Amino acid sequence: MKQLLVKIDENNGETYFEGFSCEVLQRGQLASLEQAFIEIGKEKAEKIIFDSIKKFTIQTVQKYNMFLISFARFRRKDIAEMLLKQLPERGFGVAKIIEWNEVTRRVTIEVKNSFESHNRKSERPVCIALSAIFAGAFEILFNKQCTIAEVQCTAMGGKTCLFEMVGEKD
């Protein structure tokens, strides 16, 4: 297990993690808040969550991508793997690439211990935020819109959560 420094600014009521202002929620709490929001408006809530997280991811990955490109030529898969290594440090779970095909722009990512499906039971996939993160990163890496599907989820009884992304054709 790795130790990380979390600082608390008591005057402003803020928590800092790796130099970023953040919120610290107990594992499963964010998923519970997300679920409560979804119960209010189902599809609209899911779309709002997905779109807002995807937009944030695109902005973040664009900066990260430009930084890496300015120092050296990295392959898209190398950049994706670097991004996935950040997920455990943020408590999102452990992700790895199962399939990567540059020609068909098809990517499959497996996530163990997803923060969204932790201790949840559902008849359908529940990892909206992870789907949005992967969709936003994929869009920047391939410079194409993509479709994404969570095809396996631990909330549905799966061993891991599995995401499949396919980019638009030229």
Which pTM value belongs to this model?
0.77
- pLDDT in the model for residue 31: 65
Identity of the residue numbered 54 = K
Residue 9 lies in a domain: no
Residue 136 lies in a domain: yes
Residue owning tokens 């549905």: 156
Residue 4 lies in a domain: no
Residue 161 lies in a domain: yes
Condensed to tens digits (0 to 9), the pLDDT of residues 88-124 reads: 877 789 999 999 998 888 999 999 999 888 888 999 9
Residue 17 lies in a domain: no
Q: How many residues does the chain have?
A: 170
Separation between Cα atoms, residue 123 and residue 54, nearest integer Å? 24
Residue 12 lies in a domain: no
Residue 14 lies in a domain: no
Task: CATH number of the domain at 157, please.
Answer: 3.30.1380.20
Model confidence band, residue 65 (pLDDT cutoffs 50, 70, 90): low
> Containing domain of residue 93, as a range?
26-167
Residue 90 lies in a domain: yes
Which residue from 139, 148, 153 is spatially nearest to 76, judged by alpha carbons?
139
Run of H or E residues at 71: helix 29-71
How many distinct structural domains can be found in the chain? 1
Tokens of 106: 């098809």
3-state secondary structure of 78: helix
